[in-house]
A and B are shown apart, each in its own frame.
Chain A
Amino acid sequence: MSRSTSSDQLGRGLTALTGVSAALCALVVSAVILTVVSGAWPALKELGPKRFLFDTGWHPADGLYGMAPIIVGSLAVVSGAILIATPFGILSALFLNFYAPRIVGNLYRSALELLGGIPSVVFGLWGMTTVVPLLRRIHSPGSGLLAGSLVLSLMIIPTFASLADAAVRAVPSSLYASSLALGLRRWHALWTVVLPSARSGLAAALVLQTGRAVGETMVVLMVCGNIPLLPKGLFDPIRTLTANVALEMPYALGIHRSALFVSGLVVLMLVVGLMVLVERVRTEE
C-alpha cells in the first residue's frame, strides 16, 4: 500500500476534482504576484524606479513619490524590534530547556502560546493606549520609532521563543552533559557549546521573524506616528511601507494608487527575499 498507487484507482472524478483544487492553490500565488506587479506597473513605467528612490520626500499631492524615508523607517523599526526580541527569544529558549522547573516551564510555554495568539490589532491598541502615553512622559510625541519597535518586538517574541526553544531542544543532550562533565559551568556550557550547535535553527527563526516584522501592518500603523520623514532619533515618528499602503489606499487614485502598489511590491520582495534566506540557512544544516 503505497501512496504512489496509480491515480485512476481513486476514481477519475475525484482525482480531477482534487487536481483542480491543487491547481487553484498554485494559481492563487501567481495571481497575487501578478496583481501586485500589474498594479505597480503604471507608476514604475511613468515615474521610473529612480524617482521612487531619489524624489525629495513622499508628497503624492505634489507628484513627489520619494520612498527612501519610508523604506528607512521600515528598516529602522524592524531592526529595533529584532534587536530587542533576539535576546529575549534566546534567553527564553534557555530558560525553558535548562533553568525552569517543569511546572514553571509549562506555564511559561502556555503564556507564550497565548501571547502569540493575540491579534496584531490588539497589540496596536495596547500600544496606543499604554505604551505611547508612557513614552510621551519621557519625550513627546511618544508615538514613533521606539514605540513601534517595542510593541513589534513583543509581538514577535512568542513565536521566536517557541522556534528557538525547538532549535535548542534539538541539540543532543549528551553535548550539554559532557561539557558539564568536563567542568564547564552551566552558563559557559550553554554559551560555548549548546547555542553554537543550535546556530542554524536560531538563525532560521530570526530570519523568519524578521519577515513577519517587515510584513506587519497594524502595530506600526497604530503606534509609529505615520509621518513620512527620515527618523533622526529614537523618538521620531516614522511611516513604514505597510502603513503607507493602509493609510492612503482608501482615497488614492491613478498614479498615486499605483505608487502604493509599488510600496506593497517592495514589502513583498523583502519578505520573499527573507524566505529564500531561511531556505539557505536551513539547507546549510
Chain B
Amino acid sequence: MSSMLEQLAPEADLIDDQYVGIRRRARQRLMTHGFPDLKTEAWKYTSLRVLEKRELEGGSDIGSVEPKTLPFEACIIRFDNGLLDDASLDLPEGVYLEPLDPSELVNVDYGDRADAMAWLNLARFDQAWKLVIAGEVEKPLVLATTLSEAFRAGVHPRLKIEVADGASAVLIEQQRDYGAGLINIVQDIHVGRGAQLRHIIQRRNADSIWVQRTRVNVSADGDYRCHALELAGRLVRQDLAVHLLEAGANGEIDGVAYVDSKQHVDWHTAIDHEVGHTNSRESFRILADGSGVGVFNGRIHIQRGADDSHSDLNTANLLLSENARINTKPELEIYAEEVTASHGATIGQLEDSALFYLRSRGLPADEAMALLKFGFAAAPLETLEIADLREWLTNELHRVL
C-alpha cells in the first residue's frame, strides 16, 4: 500500500503554502495507517485498488464543461474540474465565500486507515473554501462540480459550510463527471441554532473515482435534510455523517441510488444522536441492474444519555438482474432510554403481478418495467417539499430508467 501513498501523495508534490504544516502531518498519518482494503470493515465491499493502476496526471488543458442548465432560478457556484474560480462569482446577500483559515484545520483529526481518503484530502487539497450562509437565502445555492472528458487528474476539494443561527438555505450539489480521474471531496457542514439546510446531492458519473465525505453538525433546533439522487459511475463512495449535537436537532436523509452495467456505488451514512430530544429519519433505496453493485450502510447511534430521541431507518432495494449485487446493512446502536427507534431492510425483485397488471392495460413490457422501477425509485424523492426541485430530480431519474 505504500505504493499507493507514493502514487497519490508523493512527498515532493505537497504544496508549500500556508497549510504546509497541516499537509505534512496528514501525510505522516497516511504513512502510518495506510489505505483501506477489503479487510477494513467500512470498506468491505468497495476496493480502492483501481487507484493503484490509475495514472493520475495533471494538465491545465483539459477544458471545462458547462454545468447542465437547471429548470429553476439558482445561484451557481462552479467548480470546474473540482476547482473554483471565485473571480466572477456573484453571491446573493448574506452569502460569503472565503479561503479557509489554516487555524480551522490545525486540529482536524480523523481515524485510521478507514479515513485514509480524508487524510489524503488534508494532505493534498488544492483549495479550501469556507461558505458562510448568514441569512435566509431564497434562491438555491448550487455547487456545480463538473469534471471534463479529458479529466485524468487527482483533485481534492475541501469546503466548509456554515449556516448561521436562524439562517436557512437550499444547497444543491450538481455533480457531473465525464472524465476518468479521481475526485476526493471533504465537506464540513455546520447547521446553527434554529437554522435550516436542505442539502440536495445529484450526482452522475462516468469513469472517475468519486469519493466524498460529508460531516454535518446540527445545533439546537437546527434542521438538516438531505435528498440524494445517485446515478452512479465507475466508483462512487459517499460518507455522510450527521451529528445531532443539541436538543431539538433534526436530521433526515432520503436517498436513491441506481447502478447499472459495471457501476459501483457505496453509501455509508451515520446519524449520531449525541444528546436527548433529537430526531432523525432515513430512507434509502438502491436499484441495481446489469452487473452494478450497490452498497448501503446506515448507522444510527443513540448515545448514552441521549434520552427521548426518536429515529427511523428504512432501506429497500431492488435487484434487476442476475449479475447485480446489493449489500445493505442498517445498524442501530442504542445506549439511551425512552427512545423510539425502528429499522427495516428489504431486498426484492420486480413483482410479476405488478408487471402483468401494467401489461394487461396495454403497456409494453419494457415500459411497464421502467414505470415500476421509477415508482420504486421516486419514493424517497417525494419527501422533498419544494415542487420545482422535486420535479427536476424525478425528471433526472426518468432519463436513466
Tell me whether A and B are bound partners: no
